[in-house]
Amino acid sequence: MDYLTAKALLKKCGQTQLLQYYDELDDEKRRALLDDIERADFSVIENIYRKEQSAVGKLSPVRAVSLKEIAKYRTEYERVGEKLLKEGKVAAVLLAGGQGTRLGFNKPKGMFNIGETRFLSIFEQQMENIKKVTGKVGACFHLFIMTSDKNDADTQKFFRENNYFGYSSDKIHFYIQNTEIVCGFDGKVLLDEKHRLSTSPNGNGGWYSSLVSSACKDVLNGGIEWLNVYGVDNVLQRICDPAFIGAAVKSGCGCAAKVVSKASADEKVGVLCEQDGKPCIVEYYEMPENLKNLRDYDGELTFRYGVTLNYLFNVKTLNKTKSEKLPYHLAKKAVPHIENGERFFPKEPNGYKFETLVIDMVRLTGSCLAYEVEREKEFAPVKNAFGVDSVETARALLKKNGVKI
Ligand code: UTP
């Protein structure tokens, strides 16, 4: 894109401030700035003027395959799951593109030391969990790792230096998630440098569109039918669990979610519900108070199943929904940027990041199997440095599960 075309485009979008330092730049930097402008999707800005879609409307609870039912059918579920794993029809996708701001660790979250008497990174612990499955099944599955432009180099280096934690390196594939522009509360896109637009990872809902547009697509197209998507922050995460795969296949659903019974009505987890006959996940802050506290005759919460960021997606179903747009969610963040010619580091949020979320993909698939797991055995999130869902609580749960940390 040349200067005049960029200027006309920015005028149309009300973003001419992006060219304010153009005259000061050398040729290379001018090129970089014009390329950034050409790549940017300015239409996302409209989302700040749109009322946030909230999950009101008619919600109903879902039924899950309970722990009791799973115990009864486990052998059959495992048989089906193990067969698919041996045939290479299931792969895993680790969502590791987040910035982990709540933990306050300035490296990729997976590099965080969850050990006490030895160094044990979150990545290593999750790879140990994977190796338990592959050891039992006798076959390695492909693992796609989604990073962001901000943490890709550190993540790849860490895996390399740790010899891929003893996993086959040819089965591990990194790809970088896409980004979106970042704007101030006034809707003006911010400059990260005088010649670079401010951007940030586009949320964990971008995992599939980024995967199919990456070099990893050839591996994906080599016969993979199910993708087990999981978050980096649960150290008890069971990945490619054969029984879960078997139950998902047998259910005929487009996706499946590992859920836990909520510890309390106020627990900060997304809740798997149904809305107009379709599955949907309602974030804890969007759940209407009356529904949040509703109880069944047996005293259990009516809307009781919290999601653990462990989903199985059927690839054919995903491909059918590829053209559907996911809604953008706005995250208020403190965004360093250029102001009056200097780099400025705000302490308070000053702008919006635009993110799509994996939880919104569940609705698009049309049907979701809720699969209950024991929280003490499979759910140890590391979101915060202290308190609830923190390093301390995750360490305690690892020890409870016999992991030497
Ligand atoms: P979170 O919602 O906890 O976000 O991510 P975060 O950025 O890691 O942490 P905070 O909110 O700043 O503290 C849940 C999962 O989604 C991944 C994260 O790496 C984590 O596994 N994620 C999140 C991405 O892969 N990309 C994103 O853009 C955002």
Give one DSSP letter per residue of 377-402, joined into a string.
Answer: HH--B--BSSSTTBHHHHHHHHHHTT
What pLDDT is attached to residue 101?
Answer: 80
Handedness of CA 84, 86, 90, 96 (dihedral sign): positive
**Type of residue numbered 162:** N
Cα of 173 vs centre of ligand 1, distance in Å, is: 19
Paired tokens of 120: 């044990």
Report residue 393's pLDDT band, with 50, 70 and 90 as the boundaries. very high
Tokens 């040819």 belong to residue: 170
Using the predicted structure, report yes or no on whether residue 57 has a pLDDT greater than 90: no
Contact 394, 121 (CB under 8 A): no
Alpha carbon nearest to ligand 1 atom 1, residue:
98
Alpha carbon nearest to ligand 1 atom 22, residue:
98
**pLDDT tens-place string over residues 168-182:** 999 999 999 999 999
Cα of 97 vs centre of ligand 1, distance in Å, is: 6
Residue 191: phi and psi, rounded to 5, are -100, 130
Best residue among 44, 93, 95, 356 to mutate for probing ligand 1's pocket (most ligand atoms within 8 Å of CB) is 95
Alpha carbon nearest to ligand 1 atom 15, residue:
231
Nearest Cα to Cα of residue 392 among 401, 383, 231: 383
User: Can you give the length of the chain in residues?
Assistant: 405
**pLDDT tens-place string over residues 273-314:** 999 889 999 988 889 999 999 999 999 999 999 999 999 999
Alpha carbon nearest to ligand 1 atom 2, residue:
98
Report residue 51's pLDDT band, with 50, 70 and 90 as the boundaries. low
Paired tokens of 72: 């009864």
Cα of 63 vs centre of ligand 1, distance in Å, is: 28
Cα of 98 vs centre of ligand 1, distance in Å, is: 3
165: region left, alpha or beta (phi > 0 left; psi from -120 to 50 alpha):
left
Alpha carbon nearest to ligand 1 atom 25, residue:
97
Say how far apart CA 76 and CA 80 lie, in whole Å: 6
Alpha carbon nearest to ligand 1 atom 9, residue:
100
What pLDDT is attached to residue 277?
Answer: 87
Paired tokens of 223: 């016969």
What pLDDT is attached to residue 323?
Answer: 86
What is the average pLDDT across 199-213?
94
Report residue 58's pLDDT band, with 50, 70 and 90 as the boundaries. confident
DSSP secondary structure letters along 36-61: HHHH--GGGGGGGTSPPPPS-S-EEE
What is the average pLDDT across 10-31?
97
What is this structure's pTM? 0.93
Alpha carbon nearest to ligand 1 atom 23, residue:
98
Atom of ligand 1 nearest to the CA of 148: 26
Residues 6+ apart with CB under 8 A from 284: 266, 267, 268, 269, 270, 271
Number of other residues whose CB lies within 10 A of the CB of residue 101: 11
Say how far apart CA 40 and CA 347 lie, in whole Å: 26
Alpha carbon nearest to ligand 1 atom 14, residue:
231
Say how far apart CA 396 and CA 405 lie, in whole Å: 10
**pLDDT tens-place string over residues 87-145:** 999 999 999 999 888 898 999 999 999 999 999 999 999 999 999 999 999 999 999 99
Paired tokens of 254: 């487009």
What pLDDT is attached to residue 99?
Answer: 83
**pLDDT tens-place string over residues 254-268:** 999 999 999 999 999
Percent pLDDT > 90 in the chain is 91
What is the average pLDDT across 232-239?
97
**pLDDT tens-place string over residues 357-382:** 999 999 999 999 999 999 999 999 99
Using the predicted structure, report yes or no on whether residue 52 has a pLDDT greater than 60: no
What pLDDT is attached to residue 56?
Answer: 56
- Radius of gyration of the chain from its Cα atoms, rounded to whole angstroms: 22
Q: Supply the DSSP symbol for 347.
A: S
What pLDDT is attached to residue 17?
Answer: 97
Which residues pair with residue 208 across a beta bridge? none
Which residues pair with residue 331 across a beta bridge? 353
Say how far apart CA 31 and CA 192 lie, in whole Å: 16
Say how far apart CA 25 and CA 32 lie, in whole Å: 10
Best residue among 123, 204, 357, 359 to mutate for probing ligand 1's pocket (most ligand atoms within 8 Å of CB) is 204
Question: String of b and e for 147-182 (b: at least 16 CB within 10 Å)?
Answer: bbebbbeebeebbeeeebbebeeebbbbbbbbbbbb
Using the predicted structure, report yes or no on whether residue 55 has a pLDDT greater than 90: no
Report residue 248's pLDDT band, with 50, 70 and 90 as the boundaries. very high
Best residue among 144, 233, 379, 386 to mutate for probing ligand 1's pocket (most ligand atoms within 8 Å of CB) is 233
Alpha carbon nearest to ligand 1 atom 28, residue:
203
**pLDDT tens-place string over residues 194-205:** 999 999 999 999
Say how far apart CA 380 and CA 388 lie, in whole Å: 10
Residue 126, class by beta-carbon neighbours within 10 Å (0-12 exposed, 13-18 middle, 19+ buried)? buried
Cα of 35 vs centre of ligand 1, distance in Å, is: 27
Cα of 203 vs centre of ligand 1, distance in Å, is: 7
Contact 202, 178 (CB under 8 A): yes
380: region left, alpha or beta (phi > 0 left; psi from -120 to 50 alpha):
beta
Ligand 1 site, CB within 6 A: 95-102, 109, 146, 177, 201, 203-204, 231-233, 355, 383
Say how far apart CA 291 and CA 272 lie, in whole Å: 13
Residue 336, class by beta-carbon neighbours within 10 Å (0-12 exposed, 13-18 middle, 19+ buried)? middle
Cα of 225 vs centre of ligand 1, distance in Å, is: 25
Best residue among 232, 268, 309, 335 to mutate for probing ligand 1's pocket (most ligand atoms within 8 Å of CB) is 232
**Type of residue numbered 388:** V
Q: Supply the DSSP symbol for 321.
A: T
Cα of 390 vs centre of ligand 1, distance in Å, is: 15
Cα of 180 vs centre of ligand 1, distance in Å, is: 15
